[in-house]
Amino acid sequence: MSEIQVKDLILNAIKNRKVNVLKELFETVPTIDIAEVMDDIEDVSLLLFPFRVISSEYTGELFAELSSEQQEKIINAFSDKDLIKLLEESYADDIVDTLQELPANIVSRVLRVAPTDLRKDINQLLNYAENTAGSIMTTEFLEMKNTVTVKEAISTIRAKGKDAETVYTIFVRDAKRTFVGTVNLDDLIFAKDDETLDDIMDRDFVSCHVNDDQEDVANMFKRYDLNAMAVLNKEDKIVGIITIDDVVDIIVEEANEDVAALSHVAPLEDSYLDTPAWRMAVKCIPWIIILIILGTFTTMALDRIEKTAIFTLIPVLISFVPTLMDTGGNTGGQTIALMIRGLGTKEFGPKDFLRIIGKEALTALIVAACVGAFGFIWFTVEQYTGIVTNEKLFVDGVAATIWNGKCWTGAFASQTLAISGIVASTLFVGSFLSKCVAVMLPLGVAALKKDPAIVAQPILTTIVDVVSLIAYLLIALGASHLFGIF
């Protein structure tokens, strides 16, 4: 059955209130697919229908997957009793995710009707700073003492496991309530009934603290191939756990943030399709305006340089300005992108500064030399073929090119090669400098604990543009004085 047919089936079952068909669908179709169909339903009574007739084991998850707009409608339509039942079927971290998107009056209603234990958990999670381990952890997990036997542990799981976010990892504490190890469910299955958790637990666990950055937590999951991780408070006692499914979302979110920052967009809070045009514009405009203001330095440098004697005399030099500036930006942009992702995924940090700078300096030299050499040939081709034309070298009023054979006359060769040399040398200087600045800026910004993705690139472009233009003028002047070509 195709995806569209399934969606039609779900919608029909809801619209025609076919209880049995709907029950069958909930058994066989992933809940998020059903939630997606329900996100498009306008009529509140239709929206509530599945919650009335479907087994409560599905409704908690269904509610969590709905858009915040639909969640708001449902909470408003629910009696307090319905709401309590729904909350009991949901995990505290899912409820918190929901509450963060909803208006204050709804939040206070939810907190008012929530059972005391759940309210405590929700309040605790709501109070951790955004993007910390505390804000993404769940407080429903299995914690057992290290003296518990395997048999006791399995019966505890049978009794309490349904309320925990994961039963695959059991967190073990000692008599002082300090976290000392983890036991995986498969270790229990393989162990003898009378062994204690202390006998079989992993002691080489990794854990994090409530205030750790979620990106660091995600990198630990990746590095150590974890399924769940304990979140500790200052006294090294477990206050919550983070599971791998939350981490997958964080990794995607952080990657999207890096791409957005490198492309000068403020990160979107909602999914792209759910963000209206005016809010997209708000995310886009500020950076464009900042970049125009930063670009003023470039405008000023170009305005001064184009009025110098040599540029007035050889206006063709101006034609190469976009190539010089684009190439400088592109070579530096490559390095910045590698730095940002390396720093973001903790592949390296500011401590590797010397090693990275040595390598990038060598890379920059090789790239700049190759690009400069290619540029010399290409700019010569551009002049010989008349892609750019030098008015000073017009013969009988027409541009000298290989097409009309006039390029072999007189001063053409020497002046053409001199121009290629000036532009190619500037390209070499600009590319080398750009890559060197591009490696130092992100590492420097990261060492100051700021986000390098946002700050580094606009500053790089401005520096490279202005320095390239000044180098261009100096190299042109130097060539003209030394060789007296123009």
Site for its own copies in 278-317 (CB under 8 A): 278, 280-281, 284-285, 287-289, 291-293, 295-296, 298-300, 302-303, 306-307, 315-316
Q: How far apart are CA 185 and CA 336, in angstroms?
A: 44
Binding mask 388-407 for its own copies (x = CB under 8 A): xx-x----------------
Q: Is 321 in the site for its own copies (CB under 8 A)?
A: yes
Under rule CB under 8 A, residue 431 binds its own copies: yes
Establish if 326 lies at the interface with its own copies (CB under 8 A).
yes
Among positions 240-259, residues that touch its own copies (CB under 8 A) are 244-245, 247-249, 251-252, 255-256, 258-259
- Binding residue for its own copies (CB under 8 A) from 38, 210, 325, 456? 325
Q: For residue 486, state whether it binds its own copies (rule: CB under 8 A).
A: no
* 128, 320, 384, 432: residue in contact with its own copies (rule CB under 8 A): 320
Residue closer to its own copies, measured from CB, 113 or 437: 437
Considering only the stretches 90-98, 132-140, 356-364, 471-479, report the one whose residues sit in contact with its own copies under the rule CB under 8 A. Answer: 356-364
Decide: is 196 part of the binding site for its own copies (CB under 8 A).
Answer: no
Segment lying near its own copies (by CB under 8 A), choices 47-55, 72-80, 102-110, 328-336: 328-336
CA distance 277 to 270: 12
Angstrom CA distances, 338 to 12, 17, 139, 342, 353, stand at 50, 54, 37, 6, 14
Among 37, 208, 367, 436, the residue binding its own copies under the rule CB under 8 A is 367
CA distance readout (Å), 99 to 62, 122, 123, 158, 192? 15, 9, 11, 31, 44
Amino acid making up residue 330: N
Which lies closer to its own copies via its Cβ, residue 171 or residue 221? 221
Q: Among residue numbers 258 through 277, which ones bind its own copies (CB under 8 A)?
A: 258-260, 262-265, 268, 271-273, 276-277
Q: Decide if 98 contacts 86 (C-beta within 8 A).
A: no
Between 44 and 387, name the residue whose CB sits nearer to its own copies. Answer: 387
Total interface residues for its own copies by CB under 8 A: 113
Considering only residues 4 through 63, tell me which ones interact with its own copies, judged by CB under 8 A.
27-30, 32
In the complex, least distance from residue 169 CB atom to its own copies, rounded to whole angstroms: 10
- Using rule CB under 8 A, residue 207 touches its own copies: no
| Residues from 215 through 234 that contact its own copies (CB under 8 A) | 221-225, 227
Check: CB of residue 428 under 8 Å from CB of residue 436: no
